Amino acid sequence: MATNGKVKVIPCSGMGKVYGLMAREAALYTVNRLCPDQAATMCLAYIVTGDAEAEAGIAHRPCITIDGCPKMCAAKSVSAMGGDIQEEFKVLDIMKEHKGVQPGTATALTDEGWAIVEKVAGRLGSRVQEISGEGR
């Protein structure tokens, strides 16, 4: 499946925040390890700057966003570019299921942090599979 036919899994940029790092790692885990044939990602900055190629890959195409905080930068940016957002994931929501866990820092995750990333990626991957199946 060409990149344009894949579900776009787009994390926020989240620099300087551990939840942003978790969003990025979960997106990469999903597109590189869980669903390489059905999903692809894209740099958020590419979208925010209004790049024509980014728009071609996103506008009216199925997208899943994952954000590190309530500002929802990925969801807002993908929506502004006309992406067909099928689901908006929030790392904060998932962390509520893991109260007291120390996931790491903005630059490095703990083993617990990686375990949560894998869990998030599992949910992203499940949605990718569902959306891909619907498109057949």
- CB distance 54 to 42 below 8 Å: yes
- As measured in angstroms, the least distance from the Cβ of 76 to ligand SF4 is 9
Which helix (H) or strand (E) segment holds residue 36: the answer is none
Q: Does position 68 bind ligand SF4 by CB under 6 A?
A: yes
Contact residue for ligand SF4 among 12, 18, 26, 27 (CB under 6 A): 12
Regarding 69 and contact with ligand SF4 (CB under 6 A), the answer is yes
How far is it, in rounded angstroms, from Cα 58 to Cα 75?
A: 12
Q: Cβ–Cβ contacts within 10 Å for residue 82, how many?
A: 13
Nearer to ligand SF4 (CB atom), residue 13 or residue 129:
13
Give the residues lining the site for ligand SF4 (CB under 6 A). 12-14, 17, 19-20, 67-69, 71-73
